[in-house]
Amino acid sequence: MLMIRFQRVGRRNDPAFRLVLCRRTDRPKTSGIEVLGSYHPKSKAVVLKNERILYWLGKGAQASATAHNLLVTKGVVRGKKIPVVKIGASAPTAGASIGTEEAGPAAA
């Protein structure tokens, strides 16, 4: 399956990303099949090849959640944004909020 995803190409503390078409199983640093645009988050500069993006989406390629949100923001595709959870974000642990402590006279 083909994916449209970001590939980081910027220096340290100066992020820059390419929007590339690649296989889903490819590693992040490998060169993609085709470069479809670029994104510089510090300057908010976005360059997209709209025709090629729509062509590949029509052929069955899927965009990653972050790439999809960028395409929706720039008006290339229509739809709702997908919520993205960052890798470092702490998620609630399973069972932490489940009532393990029983209250009342039955517990005594």
The model's pLDDT over 59-108, given as tens digits with 9 standing for 90+, comes to 999 999 999 999 999 999 999 999 988 777 665 565 555 555 555 565 55
Residue 5: pLDDT over 70: yes
Mean pLDDT across the chain = 85
The C-alpha atoms of residue 108 and residue 68 are separated, in whole angstroms, by 54
Please check whether residue 22 is in contact with residue 2, taking contact to mean a CB–CB distance below 8 angstroms. yes
Instruction: Give the CATH number of domain 2-73.
Output: 3.30.1320.10
pTM of the full predicted structure? 0.74
pLDDT over 90 percentage in the chain: 67
The C-alpha atoms of residue 38 and residue 23 are separated, in whole angstroms, by 18
Please check whether residue 2 is in contact with residue 33, taking contact to mean a CB–CB distance below 8 angstroms. yes
Q: What is the mean pLDDT of residues 46-58?
A: 95
Domain boundary assignment for the chain: 2-73
Q: Could you tell me whether strands 34-40 and 17-23 are parallel, antiparallel, or unpaired per DSSP bridges? A: antiparallel
